Amino acid sequence: MKHIGIFALATAVALTLSSGVATAADPIKIGAIVSKSGPASFLGEPQDVTLRHYVKKINDAGGLLGRPLELVLYDDATDANVARTFASRLVDSDKVVAVIGPSTTGVTLAIAPVFEDAKIPMISLAAGVEIVDPVRAYVFKTPHTDRMVCRKIAVDMKARNFKRVALLNGTDGAGKTLRSECLVIFKSVGLEISADESFNPNDSDMTPQLTKIKNLPGVDALLIGGFGQALAVVTRNYGQLSIKTPMYQAHGAASQTYIKLSGKASEGVRVTSPLLVIVDKLPDSDPLKAGALEYAKTMRAITGAEASTFGGYSYDALMLIVNAIRKANSADPKAIRDALEVTRGFAGVTGVFNMSKDNHLGIDESSFYMVDIRDGGWKLAQ
Amino acid sequence: MSEFLQFILAGMTVGAIYSVVALGFTMVFNASGVVNFAQGEFVMLGGMLTVYGMALGMPYSVAALFAVVATSLISVALYDFAIRPARGAPVYALIIITVGASILIRGLTKIAFGTGPRDLPPLLGDEPVRVAGAVILPQSMLVIASTLAIYLCLWLLLQKTLLGHAVVASANNRMAAQMVGIDVDVMTRFSFSLSAAIGAFSGILISPITLVSYDMGTMLALKGFAAAILGGMGSPLGAILGGVLVGLSEAMSAGYLSSQYKDATAFVIIILVLFVFPNGLVGKSGHERV
């Protein structure tokens, strides 16, 4: 009897051990937290669609390192507390090897420490420069930062010899960060801030703010920041008051919906735009064109709408992780992190990624364009 | 001067929108003592269902009618399935129910129509009208005019018709109204559907200006509620005055002070007014003499 007992114990131990060791068919678990609902759902929805589609596509093609990918995706409802719970779950019970998301800067900053402590690499899909500055060992991101947007706009304004700028920003996260970044950068290049006004994302009329700006003497340009329908409402009011001062919008407005909702008032508005929006206008020699066109086509086939640049961020994040796993030939979180950090010349749909120890974003302003709205479509500026 | 006029016009437009939401609050409050926080969602549904109807190929007018009727039915359903069964519950519980209903409507709308903002074509063209250096959209004038028209119709209904008297009677004293043969349930249902119809109708009118998205109701309910409190909860005239005052104070502070303090200014004014008139500008005292 005693022998049988020992034998049973040994078998149990052996079984436990073997289940802990990855067999060839064990899936590689990749976590994702996106804002599929809540105020930032316009970010999270395309990201959700993108991730699900491409993980399936990779699996159909045989997976990675001979193992299938498993996507563990949670919707944080644009709420940092909810995201925090899911972050712990991804680390403790799902035991993922890498994480994509979250969609917004605020939520990213709230949960980044969780993955930093657990030593699991995460690639945020949010714009805030503070996500990767200062650099944290396990935290990366794919979208251009607001600082880049402001620098791009500042350069353009200087080139047009503008001196005085009026700011009108939403009180939402996107408007606030753009405002704080642009204030610093505009001042540093010698642009004068004539007005610094704001609006609520749900406001229905911005004519008081615009009238005030219109009546200021010598304003050369107007910069609007924020997201959603408010941008279209501002543009309409701008048209109604027949303001002639050139208007700049950040990439929140870089969508066909914005043009459609703003109507003819949007004619001539200059927008900083990620590549996806104007991909068909780029020369065929552009190294990013083929990939971005393919992504845009795939998304249009799935959703029936134009591809969202926000979805593009998640595409890049997923492909960066896939690339890192291949390069490292391992699905170990530390190995993935190390491989991510040495990513060089990786062509995504947002830009070419060149990561380094001090740069966990990897893309620069060259994959970012100034475009004008002309006849209800996009046109590269100049 | 033209600047001042522009702020007035902007304030009036926004104020008219708040007023009509406040009117909806007033109707339901008078009929049931409940502050219906789903009122903002009715406005949203008006715009959203019209967009949906037109996407199905209905003409503008049919789609608008469809939206108004559907929203009224949803409101009656809210009363019959959520408010009426809980009638014995304290008022705050009923208010929580309406908050729940608003979240439900918002969620369902999001699932059904998505999160993107939608647009309706303006009824009177989109060429702004110039008045002494200021501009106003024809659609804005339409919103202001129809808010006044809605108020007048409501006043006539409640003061001059038998139906109106029955509604007022049921609101004042349920028991007594029942004893003189008024079907109190029908009257409450009527108030719920009328408030929703008003909300939906104004939603259709404001959508060409503000655009319509699934989450616009929250802000409207908040501002409309503030307007109703400012004017005096339960008074239709108060709803109109309150809405216009909130709208004007927002536009004036955005124009002359700073848009950063726009909402704060509006709420400070409300608090100050309530110090002087605790029941709102034209509200009646809550205590009744026996």
Query: Which of B110, B211, B212, B246 would best serve as a mutation to test chain A binding (most A beta carbons within 10 A)?
Result: B211
Q: Examine the pLDDT at A81 and tell me if it is beyond 90.
A: yes
Q: In the structure, what pLDDT confidence band is assigned to residue A2 with cuts at 50, 70 and 90? A: low
Q: Examine the pLDDT at B214 and tell me if it is beyond 80.
A: yes
Strands A221-225 and A164-170: parallel
Looking at residue B235, what is its pLDDT? 86
Question: What is the value of pTM for the model shown?
Answer: 0.81
Domain that holds residue B219: 2-276
Taking residues B167-196, report their average pLDDT.
88
With contacts defined as CB-CB under 8 Å, which chain B residues touch A103? none
With contacts defined as CB-CB under 8 Å, which chain A residues touch B116? 42, 257
HEC string of chain B? CHHHHHHHHHHHHHHHHHHHHHHHHHHHHHHHCCCCCCHHHHHHHHHHHHHHHHHCCCCHHHHHHHHHHHHHHHHHHHHHHHHHHHCCCCHHHHHHHHHHHHHHHHHHHHHHHCCCCECCCCCCCCCCEEECCEEECHHHHHHHHHHHHHHHHHHHHHHHCHHHHHHHHHHHCHHHHHHCCCCHHHHHHHHHHHHHHHHHHHHHHHHHHHCECCCHHHHHHHHHHHHHHHHCCCCHHHHHHHHHHHHHHHHHHHHHCCHHHHHHHHHHHHHHHHHHCCCCCCCCCCCCCC
Q: Examine the pLDDT at A1 and tell me if it is beyond 60.
A: no
- Token code pair at residue B271: 């608090």
Taking residues B137-147, report their average pLDDT.
93
Taking residues A236-253, report their average pLDDT.
90
Residue B206: closest C-alpha in chain A: A204
Q: Examine the pLDDT at B288 and tell me if it is beyond 70.
A: no
pLDDT digits (tens, 9 = 90+) for B231-247: 988 888 999 999 999 99
Tell me which residue has tokens 């009509």: B20
User: Is the CB of B137 less than 8 angstroms away from the CB of A240?
Assistant: yes
Q: What is the DSSP letter of A93?
A: I
- Token code pair at residue A299: 């998304």
User: Is the CB of B6 less than 8 angstroms away from the CB of A207?
Assistant: yes
Taking residues B13-24, report their average pLDDT.
94
Looking at residue B261, what is its pLDDT? 83
Residue B253: closest C-alpha in chain A: A208
Q: How many residues does chain B have?
A: 290
Looking at residue B240, what is its pLDDT? 94
Name which of B93, B199, B187, B192 is nearest B150 in CA terms. B199
Looking at residue A12, what is its pLDDT? 54
Q: Examine the pLDDT at A258 and tell me if it is beyond 90.
A: no
Looking at residue A4, what is its pLDDT? 59
Q: How far apart are CA B190 and CA B136, in angstroms?
A: 35
pLDDT digits (tens, 9 = 90+) for B256-279: 888 888 888 878 888 888 888 888
Higher pLDDT, B3 or B72: B72
Q: Where are the domains of chain A?
A: 28-144+290-366, 147-280+368-380
Q: In the structure, what pLDDT confidence band is assigned to residue B125 with cuts at 50, 70 and 90? A: confident
Size of interface A-B (CB pairs under 8 A): 86
Q: Is residue B262 part of a domain?
A: yes
Domain A28-144+290-366 class?
A: alpha beta
- Token code pair at residue B247: 């709208």
Q: Examine the pLDDT at A5 and tell me if it is beyond 70.
A: no
Looking at residue A37, what is its pLDDT? 80
Looking at residue B207, what is its pLDDT? 92
Per CB distance under 8 Å, which residues of A are interface residues toward B? 37, 39, 41-42, 45, 168, 197-200, 202, 204-205, 207-209, 211-212, 215, 228-229, 232-233, 240-242, 257, 260-261, 263
CATH homologous superfamily for the domain A147-280+368-380: Response regulator (3.40.50.2300)
pLDDT digits (tens, 9 = 90+) for A218-232: 999 999 988 778 899
Q: Do domains A28-144+290-366 and A147-280+368-380 have the same CATH topology?
A: yes
Q: In the structure, what pLDDT confidence band is assigned to residue B290 with cuts at 50, 70 and 90? A: very low
Looking at residue A11, what is its pLDDT? 54
Q: Is residue B281 part of a domain?
A: no
Q: Is residue B283 part of a domain?
A: no
Q: How far apart are CA B61 and CA B90, in angstroms?
A: 41
Residue B127: closest C-alpha in chain A: A240
User: Is the CB of A197 less than 8 angstroms away from the CB of B13?
Assistant: no
- Phi/psi class of residue A218: alpha, beta or left (left: φ > 0; alpha: ψ in -120 to 50)? left
Domains identified in chain B, total number: 1
HEC string of B240-284? HHHHHHHHHHHHHHHHHCCHHHHHHHHHHHHHHHHHHCCCCCCCC
Q: Examine the pLDDT at A312 and tell me if it is beyond 50.
A: yes
Q: In the structure, what pLDDT confidence band is assigned to residue A309 with cuts at 50, 70 and 90? A: confident
Q: Examine the pLDDT at A69 and tell me if it is beyond 60.
A: yes
Q: In the structure, what pLDDT confidence band is assigned to residue B285 with cuts at 50, 70 and 90? A: low
Q: Is residue B289 part of a domain?
A: no
pLDDT digits (tens, 9 = 90+) for A165-217: 999 998 877 788 889 999 999 999 999 999 999 998 878 889 999 999 998 98
Complex ipTM: 0.82
